[in-house]
Amino acid sequence: MSASLSAPATRGDYVPRRKRPSAWLVLPVVLLVVMSLLPLVYVGLKAWQAGWSEALHLLWRPYVFGLLRNTLALMVGVTVTCGVIGLSLAWLLERSNLPGRRLWGVILCLPFAVPAFVSSFTWVSLSAQFEGLGGAILVMSLSKYPLIFLPVAATLRNLDPSLEESARTLGQNRRGVFFRVTLPLLWPSLLAGSLLIALHMLVEFGALSIIGLQTFTTAIYQQFELEFSNANAAMLSAVLLALCLMLLWLELRVRGKGRHVRTGQGAARRAEQVQLGSWAIAGQLYCLMLAIVGSGIPLGMLAYWLAVGSSAAFPVAAITEALLSSLALSLGGAGLCLALAVPVGLLVVRYKGQLAIWAERLPYLLHALPGLVIALTLVYFALHYVPALYQTTLLLLIAYALLFLPLAQAPIRTALNKAAPQLEEAARTLGASSFTAFCRVTLPIIFPALGAAFALVFLDAMKELTATLLLSPTGLNTLATEVWAHTANVEFAAAAPYAALLIVVSGLPVYLLTTRMYLSR
């Protein structure tokens, strides 16, 4: 008599009892895949309808070349500037003995709490000299450098100091150690932050329209809103989509196949700090300068316009209405995101398959597209196939879900990977349905991740501008659209209260994050 022994199944090898996922799990995922494919179908359909000759006529123009030049110059200029600022700040605050570096870490992250279009309105209201490409690079760099500073600083904090010490014992000076050992280890974090900033520059609209720089996103909006030309807007969207795809491909090529891994736990101690000596004064001045231009001037100008506006008129009813509309739309968009992200996460973690792969990856591709393209797509399909949906709140919430779903996917999938599926199986053996077992067993386990995902989507939806401008029902105004509308009319004092409320809502989580990171050490 022979017996076959098999190794006990691990969590990663778990196969669910049911061969096929339940309908309540599949239907929202299929709906998400269909909605995610719509922007690609829309751009392809418009290009096909125009034909090659018309498409070439629309794109092969000095006007389009000018848009391409401005877009690429902005993307490269901001990405390089943010890389220099973020890397230098991370090293200064993590590897030197700069006095007050923990407090500087909190202060220098404050620009991240100011929406880019709010910051641009304060700079433009200060002087018209900040309009154009140079002003755009300055304003956007000061708004986005924390996207590189924070991950690079975290990587520096967790690096094993023995790697650098070994290089020193082999005769390398500090400069050689930095370029040969430290920088290659920081490369993944630096590259990820740079890619995120570059994608943001491709899709940025509000700040650039206020500064007066013509890029593809501002041109797409003008073609649709002012000239009512879907064909021109679609052609420009196709170019922008191609740029996004090329950027993602380039990032994969530059990153290469190298992996930076550690074979052991490493040393549980901090690296030796560099003694700045007389250079400490220069370091303090550098941090002070960044604090002044990054958050001091925008907040100071906002306070000035608030004071000017309060001395004239302060429309409490309109401000309250915009705040309540922003809260309602952001709460609804975050709720819809969770309703789609949870089934996608379950399908990816528990069942896998082609549907799960498409449902997981398509939203990340859409995240690289501007809200204008998503909005144009929904406008087109609503008018042609579901006219009753046009200019409704539901259509705007769908746009929010498509734009911000990746923000919810990551924490939810991480939590589901840690939730043992055998617990649900035990509930099913006691007679519970798959949906009931999920709600009673798995949902309480992943609830903290749901809260984090909800907060991330909610905060980004509060600041969303482009899709809201095109899709919001008539008469519905948000804090973001009010800032944009008043700034477009050079009504800086009128825009200030709405901008201040946006900063308050966005600044609280950023403040809590940075104080926890630095002041608690």
Which residue carries 């790697």 as its tokens?
A: 163
Closest listed residue to residue 365, CA positions, set 36, 46, 35: 36
Residue 98 pLDDT > 80: yes
Task: Read off the pLDDT band of 336 (50, 70, 90).
Answer: very high
Residue 173 pLDDT > 70: no
Kindly report, residue by residue over 268-305, the tens digit of the pLDDT: 456 667 677 788 888 899 999 999 998 888 888 888 88
Q: Of 60-64, 261-265, 309-313, 384-388, give the lowest mean pLDDT range.
A: 261-265
- And the tokens for 93? 């605050």
3-state secondary structure of 96: strand
Residue 165 pLDDT > 70: no
Which residue carries 């608030």 as its tokens?
A: 306
In SS3 terms, 118-153 reads as HHHHHHHHHCHHHCCHHHHHHHHHHHHCHHHHHHHH
Q: What is the pTM of this model?
A: 0.75
Task: Read off the pLDDT band of 406 (50, 70, 90).
Answer: confident
Q: What is the pLDDT of residue 162?
A: 66
Q: d(Cα 129, Cα 192) in Å, to the nearest integer?
A: 32
Task: Summarize the confidence of residues 414-441 as an average pLDDT.
Answer: 72
Q: What is the pLDDT of residue 263?
A: 40
Q: What is the pLDDT of residue 261?
A: 44
Mean pLDDT of the chain: 78
Task: Report percent pLDDT > 90 for the chain.
Answer: 10
Cα angle 359, 362, 365; round to 5: 160
Residue 517 pLDDT > 60: no
Residue 166 pLDDT > 90: no
Residues 6 or more apart in contact with residue 9 via CB below 8 angstroms: 15
Structure-model confidence comparison of residues 335 and 511, the more confident one: 335
Q: d(Cα 39, Cα 42) in Å, to the nearest integer?
A: 5
Q: What is the pLDDT of residue 50?
A: 66
Q: Number of helices (H) and strands (E) in the chain: give both, helices first.
A: 24, 0
Q: Across 112-116, 173-177, 330-334, which has the greatest mean pLDDT? A: 330-334
Closest listed residue to residue 482, CA positions, set 468, 463, 495, 500: 495
Largest CA distance in the chain: 95
Closest listed residue to residue 398, CA positions, set 20, 27, 12, 36: 36
Kindly report, residue by residue over 182-221, the tens digit of the pLDDT: 777 777 778 878 887 888 888 888 888 888 888 888 888 7
DSSP lists the bridge partners of residue 274 as 96
Structure-model confidence comparison of residues 367 and 116, the more confident one: 116
Q: Across 72-76, 218-222, 239-243, 358-362, which has the greatest mean pLDDT? A: 72-76
Closest listed residue to residue 133, CA positions, set 44, 195, 71: 71
Which residue carries 């923990």 as its tokens?
A: 102
Residue 82 pLDDT > 80: yes
Task: Read off the pLDDT band of 77 (50, 70, 90).
Answer: very high
The residue type of 102 is R
Q: Across 67-81, 238-252, 415-429, 506-520, which has the greatest mean pLDDT? A: 67-81
DSSP lists the bridge partners of residue 96 as 274
- Alpha-carbon torsion 239, 402, 28, 18, what sign? positive
Q: What is the pLDDT of residue 112?
A: 77
Residue 388 pLDDT > 60: yes
Residue 16 pLDDT > 70: no
Task: Report percent pLDDT > 70 for the chain.
Answer: 79
- And the tokens for 435? 């949906």
- And the tokens for 154? 């975290």
Structure-model confidence comparison of residues 314 and 80, the more confident one: 80
- And the tokens for 23? 């309908």
Residue 235: φ, ψ to 5°: -65, -45
3-state secondary structure of 274: strand
For residues 146 and 109, is the Cβ–Cβ distance under 8 A?
yes
